[in-house]
């Protein structure tokens, strides 16, 4: 076992879980044993919440300009340990080193944004009548929780950690039990950056710990990122317990390719979008609607996809079940009459036979009612549907229940504008394969890709992680007696 058994991080230190339940952590790259992760019980959550509640009064009263100093130092530590942190992400998730490094660079950008919060979080003040002023300020909520998925072991936690903490909250992070290693280093580096004990805690576990978070009377807000099935469960349970909740779910992102799209640029973007992080991105292109005569572009996509090689510039999918599920989708589409132009089934990487790889897969002739057209596959697979008009393409895009991302590839500004206005997705791209908004713009889908109000990152996160206090002040005796008295 490469790393010692993982422990929870509570009140500034690592503590063993007492539940007696644990799981092995295996690298998808080669099947090697990395560590074990405890599946904690409610006692561990109790200790973490107690530590966070104890830390909250002092942390929330620390001026925000002081709080963000921790994140200036933390950003420097992320830069200093970039290689080590990227390697950890690569090992536990199975993505390539370059992808893991890009993930860590995004963590740095998210931390940078948090250091700018003092500039953005100022309240308002107005003399509402003679000698009387009203002011508003953003007040932290208290103890909050963040529940995260396997596909970005460090980036998705950084969607919530820097902003929630810089805004004065104390947090319990529940990492994915499939990728629990990075969170320990995040906790250590935050401590090294000067974060007081108890402000950030990590409790590992599975379903039961998520349920305990949703039920806990002293947790004020829950952010969740994961599949739509679980997002629904968490949103319903947390809000039924009167908590604030933002739950991001799965996706089925459509790229609409017009005949006038630039062939090389489009093909490179489509191939990169479908296969980046082995297709395990909630922003990955999973369906392509080819409008009109675009055979020449489809052919270029296949050529580009052939350059993506498992074990070289394509990482592994998370586990054996995932590999089997993805391959089942391809087999089923083929049996239903779709044409597999490039087949990634049965990929094996020499010397890493226990790794779980799927090669890039391009499926043409997909009908909109097939499972590969409607369901989230979460693998390096693109399903191509054909339409005659852009309206038919939009009809397919609009009919899918998700709404994370949609993109159009065209050189025609009018067509681009037409699609931008009509796509039913929270994040829309024009000639962009993965239209993730950069900071300070916020990240968040629509429809069944997100339950709750607002977005998780950027300026929008301020509304989620704080409550507004409205104060009316009268110092001036001349203000007299009026309806506000």
The Cα 221–Cα 124 span in angstroms is 24
Determine if 233 is a binding residue for ligand NAD (CB under 6 A): yes
Shortest CB 77 distance to ligand NAD, Å: 25
Determine if 434 is a binding residue for ligand NAD (CB under 6 A): no
Q: Is 170 a catalytic residue?
A: no
Among 12, 140, 118, 14, residue whose Cα is nearest residue 72: 118
Return the range that interacts with ligand NAD (CB under 6 A); candidates 1-9, 111-119, 127-135, 149-157.
149-157
Which SS3 state, helix, strand or coil, does residue 99 take? helix
Residue 407 C-beta-side C-alpha neighbours within 13 Å: 27
Catalytic annotation, pick one of 214, 245, 277, 282: 282
Determine if 198 is a binding residue for ligand NAD (CB under 6 A): no
The Cα 416–Cα 412 span in angstroms is 6
Shortest CB 201 distance to ligand NAD, Å: 15
Selected from 190, 230, 289, 434, the binder of ligand NAD by CB under 6 A is 230
Strand (E) or helix (H) holding 65: helix 64-80
Return the range that interacts with ligand NAD (CB under 6 A); candidates 65-73, 202-210, 430-438, 460-468.
202-210
Determine if 9 is a binding residue for ligand NAD (CB under 6 A): no
Shortest CB 203 distance to ligand NAD, Å: 11
Selected from 163, 169, 269, 449, the binder of ligand NAD by CB under 6 A is 449
Shortest CB 365 distance to ligand NAD, Å: 25
Shortest CB 237 distance to ligand NAD, Å: 8
Q: Which is nearer to ligand NAD, 140 or 157 (CB)?
A: 157
Q: 278: which DSSP letter?
A: G
Determine if 176 is a binding residue for ligand NAD (CB under 6 A): yes
Shortest CB 346 distance to ligand NAD, Å: 23
CA 203 to chain CA centroid, Å, is 19
The residues near 364 (Cβ < 8 Å, ≥ 6 apart) are: 298, 338, 339, 341, 384, 386
Determine if 177 is a binding residue for ligand NAD (CB under 6 A): yes
Return the range that interacts with ligand NAD (CB under 6 A); candidates 136-144, 169-177, 285-293, 342-350.
169-177
Q: Which is nearer to ligand NAD, 193 or 278 (CB)?
A: 278
Residues 328-387 that bind ligand NAD (CB under 6 A): 376, 378
What residue spans of 167-262 are helical by DSSP H?
A: 181-192, 207-215, 228-240
The Cα 343–Cα 366 span in angstroms is 15
Alpha-carbon Rg for the chain, nearest whole angstrom, is 24
The Cα 177–Cα 180 span in angstroms is 5
Residues 239-258 that bind ligand NAD (CB under 6 A): 248-251
Shortest CB 356 distance to ligand NAD, Å: 14
Determine if 210 is a binding residue for ligand NAD (CB under 6 A): yes
Determine if 438 is a binding residue for ligand NAD (CB under 6 A): no
Selected from 94, 226, 279, 310, the binder of ligand NAD by CB under 6 A is 226
Which SS3 state, helix, strand or coil, does residue 328 take? helix
Which SS3 state, helix, strand or coil, does residue 201 take? strand
Comparing every residue's Cβ against ligand NAD, the nearest one is: 226
Selected from 9, 59, 113, 150, the binder of ligand NAD by CB under 6 A is 150
Return the range that interacts with ligand NAD (CB under 6 A); candidates 71-79, 119-127, 150-158, 474-482.
150-158
Contacts for 78-83: CB closer than 8 Å, 24+ residues apart: 78/104, 78/107, 78/108, 78/111, 78/189, 79/108, 81/185, 81/189
Shortest CB 149 distance to ligand NAD, Å: 3
Measured CA to CA in angstroms, residue 82 lies from 106, 159, 185, 387, 429 at distances of: 11, 18, 11, 45, 30
Determine if 238 is a binding residue for ligand NAD (CB under 6 A): no
Determine if 99 is a binding residue for ligand NAD (CB under 6 A): no
- The beta strands (E) that lie in 218-359 are given as 221-225, 244-248, 253-257, 285-291, 339-342
Measured CA to CA in angstroms, residue 244 lies from 161, 198, 214 at distances of: 16, 21, 10
The Cα 223–Cα 450 span in angstroms is 11
The residue to which tokens 């490179």 are assigned = 268
Number of residues that bind ligand NAD (CB under 6 A): 27
Determine if 44 is a binding residue for ligand NAD (CB under 6 A): no
Determine if 276 is a binding residue for ligand NAD (CB under 6 A): no
Where on the chain is the footprint of ligand NAD (CB under 6 A)? 147-151, 156, 174, 176-177, 206-207, 210, 225-227, 230, 233, 248-251, 282, 376, 378, 404, 445, 449
Which residues are annotated as catalytic? 282
């Amino acid at each position: 076992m490469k790393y010692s058994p993982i422990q929870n991080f509570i009140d500034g230190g690592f503590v063993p879980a007492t539940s007696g339940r644990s799981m092995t952590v295996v690298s998808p790259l080669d099947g090697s044993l990395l560590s074990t992760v405890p599946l904690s019980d409610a006692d561990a959550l109790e200790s973490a919440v107690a530590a966070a509640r104890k830390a909250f009064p002092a942390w929330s009263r620390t001026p925000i300009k002081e709080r963000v100093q921790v994140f200036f130092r933390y950003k420097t530590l992320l830069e200093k340990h970039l290689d080590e942190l990227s390697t950890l992400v690569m090992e536990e998730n199975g993505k390539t080193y370059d992808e893991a490094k890009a993930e860590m660079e995004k963590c740095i950008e998210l931390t940078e944004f948090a250091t700018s919060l003092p500039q953005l979080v100022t309240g308002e003040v107005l003399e509402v009548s003679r000698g009387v002023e009203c002011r508003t300020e953003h007040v932290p909520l208290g103890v909050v929780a963040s529940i995260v998925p396997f596909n970005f072991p460090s980036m998705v936690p950084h969607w919530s950690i820097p902003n929630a903490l810089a805004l004065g909250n104390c947090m319990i992070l529940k990492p994915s039990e499939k990728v629990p290693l990075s969170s320990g280093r995040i906790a250590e580096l935050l401590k090294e950056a000067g974060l007081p004990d108890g402000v950030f805690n990590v409790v590992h576990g599975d379903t039961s710990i998520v349920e305990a978070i949703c039920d806990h009377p002293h947790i004020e807000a829950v952010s969740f990122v994961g599949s739509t099935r679980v997002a629904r469960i968490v949103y319903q349970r947390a809000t039924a317990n009167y908590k604030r909740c933002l739950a991001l779910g799965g996706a089925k992102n459509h790229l609409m390719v017009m005949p006038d799209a630039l062939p090389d640029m489009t093909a490179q973007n489509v191939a990169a979008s479908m296969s980046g992080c082995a297709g395990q991105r909630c922003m990955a292109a999973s369906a392509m609607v080819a409008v009109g005569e675009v055979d020449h572009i489809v052919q270029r996509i296949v050529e580009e996809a052939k350059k993506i090689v498992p074990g070289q510039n394509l990482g592994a999918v998370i586990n054996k079940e995932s590999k089997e599920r993805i391959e089942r989708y391809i087999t089923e589409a083929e049996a239903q009459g779709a044409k597999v132009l490039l087949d990634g089934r049965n990929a094996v990487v020499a010397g890493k036979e226990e790794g779980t790889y799927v090669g890039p897969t391009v499926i043409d002739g997909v009908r909109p009612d097939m499972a590969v057209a409607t369901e989230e596959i979460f693998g390096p697979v693109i399903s191509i549907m054909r339409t005659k008009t852009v309206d038919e393409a939009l009809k397919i895009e609009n009919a899918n229940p998700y709404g994370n991302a949609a993109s159009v590839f065209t050189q025609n500004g009018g067509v681009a504008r037409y699609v931008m206005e009509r796509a039913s997705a929270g994040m829309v791209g024009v000639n962009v394969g993965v239209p993730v908004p950069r900071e300070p713009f916020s990240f968040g889908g629509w429809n069944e890709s997100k339950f709750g109000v607002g977005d998780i990152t950027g300026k929008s996160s301020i509304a989620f992680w704080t409550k507004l206090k409205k104060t009316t002040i009268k110092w001036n005796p001349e203000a007299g007696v009026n309806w506000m008295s």
